[in-house]
Structure 1
Amino acid sequence: MIDMTEGNPNKLILKFAFPMILGNIFQQVYNLVDSIVVGKFVGADALASVGSSFSIVVFITSIIIGLTMGVGIIFAQYYGSRDMQNLKETIVISFIFIGGVTIFIMIVSLLGIDLILDLFNMPDRLIKDSKGYLIIIILGLLFTFIYNLATALLRSIGDSKRPLYFLIVASIINIVLDIVFVLKFNWGVIGVAIATIIAQAISAVLSIIYVYKSINFIKISKQDIRINKDVFKNVVKYSVLTSIQQSIMNFGILIVQGLVNTFGTTVMAAFAAGVKVDSIAYMPVQDFGNAFSTFVAQNKGAGKINRVKEGVKSSTKIIMIFCVIVSTLIFVFSKDIMYIFIKKSEIEVISLGVEYLSVVSIFYVLIGFLFMFYGLFRGVGLINISIVLTLVSLGTRIVLAYILASTWLSESGIWWSIPIGWALADILGIVYYRKKINF
């Protein structure tokens, strides 16, 4: 565990973020393997189906992940102030509240799955595979909830290593099962979905067992299992607002995916591959932003607000260096990267994927700063500002995507709308930082 209220902010944030980054690399790897296996061994339609369905899954799970991220900030603040009684009561209420919301989401999603696919402009020939994939993933949402709540707790007290270990195990299992279910059993898209929820279940079970048996100073007793109104209000406020921010972000992506779907399966397949590359490329700075959020929250809880300013300076430098390196690599090797996802004979898909990566990859530093602002404002409790930044980023992207896609730019207009949205949100983040936070 890492106490972020003492020591060099730069070293602390990097040390804490590194296991988070590695963990998400493994998570992205098994998501990547899903796409590679179906793209290489089933076909472009299967890749388009998994890619489009995955956008729906990301939106649904973002609601749950946002809820757990929000309470993670409260956990970190109470841990920073060493208020263990309120920390334990918050854990209990969070489990009951978020668990209930998760079950509700599962029921609504399963009942409305046909409507979702219809609103999503899913091509008729992809509906069967997409529906099967979604049903299986939705049935595994309880595992998503358990793992992310346990992870939020562990990270709030400075332990980012255990979630990494659990994800490594899950990733290896997922990759092996992908290959077995698709190549040996010929289960296609359904096999990929089954492999995913089995891996999620294993990571959830491992994380909850570790928390229960190993975190001695937050052992829950009978007297902690009660509903404190003030704690409940705090849980609802932080979790719901953070969830809104996360779901807005992914809902915007979902709307853009719906527009992409109108261009046909070739563009869908290229976009699916490009988005997968994006998610891996800027995932480290996203994790860095989450680590920074914990740093901010712990120091706020300890009353050491001046340390946050030091953290902002350190984060800015690190993000710039990292993003320049990653952007250069992806821009230069974009065609080779596309070959990972799709057969070389799919010339048009590869060409469109390279075009997407050539436009978006050079602007990764913009989303890096945006993740830093998200972490900053969540950590100090100004979650509403994170929501505003998300609305600006995604709102701009959606409006511009539809406008530019109707011009001579066609699908290229969708690509260009993405960095423009990031840039406008960053400008607003700087304005809020200077005006709203008095350091």
Structure 2
Amino acid sequence: MKSDMTKGAIAPILIKFMLPLFIGNLFQQFYNMVDTLIVGRYVGTDALAAVGATGTIMFLILGFANGLATGFTVLTSQSYGAHDDRRLRHSIANAVILAVIVTLITTMVSVISMKSILRMMNTPDDIFDYAYSYIITISYGICASVFYNLGASILRAVGNSKVPLYFLIFSACLNVGLDFVCIVGFDLKTFGAALATVVSQGISAVLCFIYIYKKQRSMWPERSDWHLEARDTSHQLRVGVPMALQFAITASGTMIMQAAINLFGSTAVASFTAASKIQGLITQGMPSMGQTIAAYAGQNFGAGRYDRLKDGIKNSMIIMTVYSVVAAVLSLSLLEPAMHLFFDSAQDVAVHLPWAIPYIRFCAMCYIPLSAIFIFRNMMQGCGFGFLPMMGGVVELVSRAIMAVLSMKLMIYELASACDPAAWLTTGIFTFVAWLYVAPKIEKMFAGRQITSTENQMK
């Protein structure tokens, strides 16, 4: 099941491709949130705070590894758009080999440095053991996340966004079941929550590659493809490394923000965790459109369709502006009732609302810039431009760091809760300007291709 995104009406193509991604991302957020819900209700507020305190570290580790894996498949998307089957197959083999290397290195570094990272982030002593148990298990299971994302990205690169959704729904249901078994049944606490996540993602990864082998056999690499080739390795690293660094830089900013939140105690951390999970669920349209634009850009860049790249930007921004307004209304109206889900009946949710409300209010005002980041960044990355999107991550880091440091110096929680929206606003502007700089370069590249093609036809 493939989809050619180089022809036809653009808005319907984007929406049709995006919807399965959106549903899949909702399920992914859902089972991440279920971890939090079950931990909060059956283990306690300290454990809930511990899972929240490690969220930014998990984003750093998995974001870096998965950024590389996703970047590796940009070449797959471009090869598909160019109808180059041989290079498509080899790009997949090359990506798998590189992903194995990335996984081994990332796992080793994460396991060795984890306690130091938790200390550096001001993790409160009363939740430290819970936090370490959770994040070290996630670190040992990095391979599950990397290879699920790699398999799903390979399928999306050729326009198939539905099959990864089916596997993700299965994984989400499995994760919920394993949460109850590990946490409620065997009382494994935060270790059980992490174990359930790793196992369910690992099974999803296996299913993705079985599907590619069985159902998309023409894409499966032949024996001669299973080696690192200098040209493809260079291309994949040139796109993947900046994507990974962009994730890592962004995550570093969120870690600084989390360090500021941690200074206000475990109640603030638990409240912030619950609010961010609610927001994460509501705003999944933004990364879904980003994934859509990455595949769309890769195929149309490979096909030399600059006109469709420009129209893709316009159509996606209209769609996401409407979505952002709806998301803002939902996040503000659903916050208080949804907060009750995260705490047992003995907890007074009113104690947590003063910590949760400022964060949601500030963020809701900046959903449109957040959408712009995903659209412009993924458009550039899908066309093979990795440096400026990576610099967007630097802008995010600096913006969050300034707000977080001010918060820690002045001990004002509202400044810490404004870290995300400040980063989204500044980076949204930066990525828009970056696209204005990159777009003429892409147009010239396409003009050069057409001239070369015409000359070849005349010879």
TM-score, structure 2 normalization: 0.92
Is 1:284 paired with 2:285? Answer: yes
Mapped to 2, the partners of 1:436 and 1:220 lie a distance apart of 33
Q: Which amino acid in the other structure matches residue 138 of structure 1?
A: S
2:439 maps to what in 1?
437
Aligned residue runs from structure 1 range 120-135, under 5 A: 120-135=121-136
2:66 maps to what in 1?
65
Aligned residue runs from structure 1 range 258-269, under 5 A: 258-269=259-270
Structure 1 residue 360: Cα displacement? 1.5
2:362 maps to what in 1?
359
Mapped to 1, the partners of 2:207 and 2:398 lie a distance apart of 39
Q: Which amino acid in the other structure matches residue 380 of structure 1?
A: C
1:420 is matched with which residue: 409, 419, 422?
422
Aligned residue runs from structure 1 range 332-411, under 5 A: 332-343=333-344, 344-407=347-410, 410-411=412-413
Aligned partners of 2:74 and 2:236 also within 8 Å: no
SS of 1:340 mapped into structure 2: helix
Structure 1 residue 257: Cα displacement? 0.8
Aligned partners of 1:252 and 1:398 also within 8 Å: yes
Aligned partners of 2:147 and 2:205 also within 8 Å: yes
Q: Which amino acid in the other structure matches residue 16 of structure 1?
A: F
Q: Which amino acid in the other structure matches residue 414 of structure 1?
A: A
Structure 1 residue 299: Cα displacement? 0.4
Instruction: Write out per-residue CA displacement over residues 177-197 of structure 1, whole angstroms, 9 at most, x where no aligned residue.
Output: 212222232222122112111
Structure 1 residue 15: Cα displacement? 0.8
Q: Which amino acid in the other structure matches residue 375 of structure 1?
A: N
Instruction: Write out per-residue CA displacement over residues 138-158 of structure 1, whole angstroms, 9 at most, x where no aligned residue.
Output: 121111121111111100000
Q: Which amino acid in the other structure matches residue 423 of structure 2?
A: G
Structure 1 residue 384: Cα displacement? 0.9
Aligned partners of 1:106 and 1:141 also within 8 Å: yes
Q: Which amino acid in the other structure matches residue 111 of structure 1?
A: I
Mapped to 2, the partners of 1:124 and 1:427 lie a distance apart of 39
Is 1:328 paired with 2:341? Answer: no
1:429–1:220 distance in 2 versus 1, CA, 3 Å: closer
2:87 maps to what in 1?
86
Aligned partners of 1:405 and 1:412 also within 8 Å: no
Aligned partners of 2:5 and 2:300 also within 8 Å: yes
Mapped to 2, the partners of 1:177 and 1:223 lie a distance apart of 40
Mapped to 2, the partners of 1:162 and 1:217 lie a distance apart of 17
Aligned partners of 2:324 and 2:371 also within 8 Å: yes
Mapped to 2, the partners of 1:28 and 1:348 lie a distance apart of 25
Mapped to 2, the partners of 1:316 and 1:383 lie a distance apart of 21
Aligned partners of 2:340 and 2:349 also within 8 Å: no
Mapped to 2, the partners of 1:419 and 1:232 lie a distance apart of 36
2:110 maps to what in 1?
109
Mapped to 2, the partners of 1:128 and 1:405 lie a distance apart of 24
Question: Once structures 1 and 2 are overlaid, which stretch shifts more, 169-178 or 414-423?
Answer: 414-423
Instruction: Write out per-residue CA displacement over residues 1-30 of structure 1, whole angstroms, 9 at most, x where no aligned residue.
Output: 210001011111111111111111111101
Aligned residue runs from structure 1 range 16-27, under 5 A: 16-27=17-28
2:251 maps to what in 1?
250
Mapped to 2, the partners of 1:354 and 1:41 lie a distance apart of 25
Mapped to 1, the partners of 2:438 and 2:168 lie a distance apart of 37
Aligned partners of 1:282 and 1:368 also within 8 Å: no
Aligned partners of 1:71 and 1:152 also within 8 Å: no
SS of 2:7 mapped into structure 1: coil
1:434–1:110 distance in 2 versus 1, CA, 3 Å: closer
Among all aligned residue pairs of Structure 1 and Structure 2, give the percentage whose two residues are the same amino acid. 29
Structure 1 residue 376: Cα displacement? 1.2
Aligned partners of 2:74 and 2:157 also within 8 Å: yes
Mapped to 1, the partners of 2:361 and 2:398 lie a distance apart of 23
Aligned residue runs from structure 1 range 120-269, under 5 A: 120-269=121-270
1:428–1:53 distance in 2 versus 1, CA, 3 Å: closer
Mapped to 2, the partners of 1:228 and 1:370 lie a distance apart of 33
| Gaps in structure 1 of 5+ consecutive residues | none
Q: Which amino acid in the other structure matches residue 274 of structure 2?
A: A
1:417–1:111 distance in 2 versus 1, CA, 3 Å: closer
Q: Which amino acid in the other structure matches residue 79 of structure 1?
A: Y
The count of corresponding residues between Structure 1 and Structure 2 is 438
Aligned partners of 2:138 and 2:194 also within 8 Å: yes
Q: Which amino acid in the other structure matches residue 429 of structure 2?
A: I
Q: Which amino acid in the other structure matches residue 176 of structure 2?
A: I
Aligned partners of 1:331 and 1:362 also within 8 Å: no
Aligned partners of 2:369 and 2:429 also within 8 Å: no
SS of 2:326 mapped into structure 1: helix
Aligned partners of 1:342 and 1:350 also within 8 Å: no
Q: Which amino acid in the other structure matches residue 151 of structure 2?
A: A
Mapped to 2, the partners of 1:350 and 1:180 lie a distance apart of 31
Question: Once structures 1 and 2 are overlaid, which stretch shifts more, 203-212 or 213-222?
Answer: 213-222
Aligned partners of 2:263 and 2:408 also within 8 Å: no
Mapped to 2, the partners of 1:401 and 1:255 lie a distance apart of 6
Aligned partners of 1:339 and 1:350 also within 8 Å: no
TM-score, structure 1 normalization: 0.96
1:351–1:342 distance in 2 versus 1, CA, 3 Å: farther
Question: Cα RMSD over matched residues?
Answer: 1.5
Aligned partners of 1:75 and 1:90 also within 8 Å: yes
Mapped to 1, the partners of 2:110 and 2:330 lie a distance apart of 39
SS of 1:220 mapped into structure 2: coil
SS of 1:186 mapped into structure 2: coil
Segments ≥4 residues shifted beyond 4 Å? none
Mapped to 1, the partners of 2:326 and 2:439 lie a distance apart of 31
